[in-house]
Amino acid sequence: MPKAIWNGQTLAESDNCEVVEGNQYFPRDAVNMDLLRPSEKHTQCGWKGTASYYDVVVGDRVNPDAAWYYPDPMAGAEQVGNRIAFWRGVQVEA
């Protein structure tokens, strides 16, 4: 079952992930939202739309912009809607 871990803490775990461009997109309800805080960062993907980010916070450590999601994915990218992916040192086990 795919799992996302950072700083010894499990951030997400689910057997219902979508893999897009090599990234595991976890269902939002499988993510420990208590460990995420909204970031001001946004980026643009040509086919998925505008991505928003979260900082990952475990204890007193912060991993800025280490999680992202598409609040309103473009047509053809609906599979990433209501899902969160991780990077920047977050270990994702498949």
Return the pLDDT at 94.
86
Contacts of 87 (CB under 8 A, 6+ apart): 23, 66, 67, 68
* Rg of the chain taking only CA atoms, in angstroms: 12
DSSP notation for 47-71? TTEEEEEEEEEETTEEEEEEEEEBS
Which run of H or E residues covers position 5? strand 3-6
Q: What is the pTM of this model?
A: 0.97
Q: How does the average pLDDT of the chain come out, rounded?
A: 97
Helix (H, G, I), strand (E, B) or coil at 41: strand
Helix (H, G, I), strand (E, B) or coil at 13: strand
How many domains does the chain contain in total?
Answer: 1
Residue 29 pLDDT exceeds 90: yes
pLDDT digits (tens, 9 = 90+) for 37-52: 999 999 999 999 999 9
CATH number at residue 18: 2.170.150.40
Confidence class for position 86, pLDDT limits 50, 70, 90: very high
Residue 60 pLDDT exceeds 90: yes
pLDDT digits (tens, 9 = 90+) for 7-28: 999 999 999 999 999 999 999 9
Residue 76 DSSP label: T
